[in-house]
Amino acid sequence: MDQTNDFIKETKLAGVFVIERPTFDDPRGFFREFYRKNDLENRLGFEFNPAQANHSHSSKNTLRGIHVAPWHKLVTVANGEVQQIVVDFRKDSPTFGQYESIIMGEKNRNAVFVPAGCGNAFLVTSEQADYIYLATDYWEPGKELYAIYNDPNLNIEWLSKTPLVSEKDLQNKPVKELFPDQFK
């Protein structure tokens, strides 16, 4: 039996997967695997070699993103709950400009694979959250693009009408400016 099919679910965006591995609870707490190299690589069809691991701790209503990286990411939430958003910005994709919204956290202990070229963002819906991700390249200034979170061309249904957004992310550009060829 192919366990990959049991735990790795496709989304409407090609190459974006939700990984729903079992969680084993007992009176002491729980145990789960959010990443199994062989299962993920079997589904992806290529090697996933993380170069960097990142941890973001945020308070309620914090919105981070939308960051478009030229590397793959595997994201999960260790504590709290978030609304995970993945936006397809791959130029040749039939779902360009579409997004997936996935609830991640303590009530839904899953992980999400975000392919290179897709936008990544999250909104904290609990009092606080710890967001963990593996990336296949090192972050350096100038490698990412940044799309404004409330772009009407994306029409994302955020779970907060008044998110806390950094000054830097408030300066992010509209999608039409980032990808003008897609709007001719």
**Residue numbers annotated as active site:** 67, 133
Give the integer Cα–Cα distance in Å for 151 and 175.
7
Instruction: Write down the number of H helices and E strands in the chain.
Output: 4, 14
Q: Return the DSSP state at 172.
A: P
Q: How many CA atoms lie within 13 A of 134 on its CB side?
A: 14
By C-alpha distance, which of 169, 166, 164, 167 is closest to 147? 169
Q: CA-CA distances (angstroms) from residue 3 to 6, 23, 49, 109?
A: 5, 15, 21, 18
Place of tokens 């350096």: 140
Give the integer Cα–Cα distance in Å for 65 and 47.
26
- What lies within 8 Å, CB to CB, of 183 at 6+ separation is 153, 175, 176
